[in-house]
């Protein structure tokens, strides 16, 4: 029998504990496991960097939610990315990255991997011809984010998968913004899905974590080896927090989407607002592709102010319910100024973001309260 998404979120990897009957997965807060004689492992566990039962539960749940065969959990989204990239790439390789990639991912390519001898080309991924043209014989990997951060650009995952297949390169999709509830890249032809579980999967702004999900058993084995060899694993309590958050992902995302749609509509009609970036708006250039590959349009909304950068900064400092903070994907609404906050690290690069841009992570509070808060800040 195949189960629906919400059933998997609550049950996948989470059978009641056979030794105690504990309905929720215990936090196995231990570094090591007793061996029954030298090399005799009781439950298959030896040392918690290599594997821990709470992390195993999370990994099985994440794999199920992405319709993938293998899940790996990490201490952060960037730890997951670093482990993946240094497993599949070697000095001399080339990668194609989005021209509005998450700032931290860009920094990883531009500073850590560039020094390691991996070249990169930023491309506007919505333009499939430009992507095809950027692939060289040295290209090993196509890195995709959709929707993108902070401009909510949409890339056609199935279209990119076709290009990747023809070129014999890996398609990696950072699915953090959509979450597996709204979009499942592996079913659209991607090879590996990356998550910052810090965001929607954890969902409560109380944990930092990352994940990889994939189908290829041989690559999964190499990644498991590197996960242990490089050691950037999440602790048992952090694993448990993400697992607990994931249980309500579906209902949270439905509300995030509904609230964000109302916020985007209100902003669009507001005289002090310039452009509104939300893939749910029919005039958004990626609207049709988003409607085809996503179940809903997500909880992130960005917009510019006709009054420019000073007005953007003023709005960020005037909201009360929208808390001025980095990060996203929690139940509470957040507001931020990408150029000076989340994307300060891409200042002066081809990925620089507009100075008059404000990014919202629309939470699941009462939507009328959110609209009032924004109207007041804009007034």
Ligand X SMILES: *Cc1c(COP(=O)(O)O)cnc(C)c1O
Question: Which residues contact ligand X by CB under 6 A?
Answer: 76-78, 102, 104-105, 145, 149, 174, 176-177, 196, 198-199, 208, 210
Q: Pick the closer one to ligand X by CB: 273 or 334.
A: 334
Catalytic residue among 49, 107, 295, 340: 49
Residue 37 beta carbon to ligand X: minimum distance, rounded to whole angstroms: 40
Catalytic residue among 100, 174, 238, 356: 174
Residue 335 beta carbon to ligand X: minimum distance, rounded to whole angstroms: 16
Contact 359, 302 (CB under 8 A): yes
Our answer to whether residue 82 is catalytic in this structure is: no
Our answer to whether residue 49 is catalytic in this structure is: yes
Q: β-strands 210-214, 334-336: how paired? A: unpaired
Catalytic residue among 45, 82, 102, 156: 102
Q: Pick the closer one to ligand X by CB: 84 or 186.
A: 84
CA distance 377 to 324: 12
Residue 225 beta carbon to ligand X: minimum distance, rounded to whole angstroms: 22
CA 284 remoteness from chain centre? 21
Closest listed residue to residue 150, CA positions, set 270, 320, 316:
316
Our answer to whether residue 140 is catalytic in this structure is: no
Q: Pick the closer one to ligand X by CB: 210 or 236.
A: 210
Closest listed residue to residue 59, CA positions, set 44, 40, 74:
74
Residue at shortest CB range from ligand X: 77
Contact 307, 331 (CB under 8 A): no
Residue 215 beta carbon to ligand X: minimum distance, rounded to whole angstroms: 21
Our answer to whether residue 199 is catalytic in this structure is: yes
Q: Pick the closer one to ligand X by CB: 153 or 373.
A: 153
The contacts of residue 195 (CB under 8 Å, 6+ apart) are 62, 77, 80, 174, 175, 176, 201, 210, 211, 212, 213
Looking at the annotation, which residues are catalytic? 49, 102, 174, 199
């Amino acid at each position: 029998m195949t189960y629906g998404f919400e059933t998997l979120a609550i049950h996948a990897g989470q059978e009641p504990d056979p030794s105690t009957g504990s309905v929720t997965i215990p936090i196995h807060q231990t570094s090591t496991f007793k061996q029954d004689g030298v090399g005799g492992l009781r439950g298959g566990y030896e040392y918690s960097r290599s594997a821990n039962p709470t992390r195993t539960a999370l990994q099985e749940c994440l794999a199920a939610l992405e319709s993938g065969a293998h899940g790996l959990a990490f201490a952060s989204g960037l730890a997951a990315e670093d482990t993946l990239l240094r497993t599949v790439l070697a000095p001399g390789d080339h990668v194609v990255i989005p021209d509005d990639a998450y700032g931290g991912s860009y920094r990883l390519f531009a500073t850590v991997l560039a020094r390691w001898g991996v070249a990169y080309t930023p491309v506007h991924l919505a333009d499939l011809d430009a992507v095809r043209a950027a692939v060289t014989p040295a290209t090993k990997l196509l890195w995709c984010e959709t929707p993108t951060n902070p401009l909510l650009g949409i890339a056609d995952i199935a279209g990119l998968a076709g290009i990747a297949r023809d070129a014999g390169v890996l398609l990696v999709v950072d699915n953090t913004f959509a979450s597996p509830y709204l979009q499942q890249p592996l079913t659209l032809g991607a090879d590996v899905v990356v998550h910052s579980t810090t965001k929607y999967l954890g969902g409560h702004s109380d944990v930092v974590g990352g994940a990889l999900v994939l189908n290829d058993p041989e690559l999964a084995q190499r990644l498991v080896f590197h996960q242990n060899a490089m050691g950037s694993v999440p602790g048992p309590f952090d694993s448990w927090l993400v697992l607990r958050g994931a249980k309500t992902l579906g209902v949270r995302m439905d509300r995030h989407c509904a609230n964000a749609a109302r916020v985007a509509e209100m902003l669009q009609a507001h005289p002090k607002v310039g452009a509104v970036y939300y893939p749910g708006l029919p005039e958004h250039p990626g609207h049709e592709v988003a409607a085809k590959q996503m179940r809903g349009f997500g909880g992130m909304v960005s917009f510019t102010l006709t009054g420019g950068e000073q007005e953007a900064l003023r709005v960020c400092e005037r909201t009360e319910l929208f808390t001025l903070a980095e990060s996203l994907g929690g139940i509470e609404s957040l507001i931020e100024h990408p150029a000076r906050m989340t994307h300060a690290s891409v200042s002066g690069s081809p990925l620089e973001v507009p100075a008059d841009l404000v990014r919202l992570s629309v939470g699941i509070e009462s939507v009328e309260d959110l609209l009032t808060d924004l109207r007041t800040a804009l007034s």
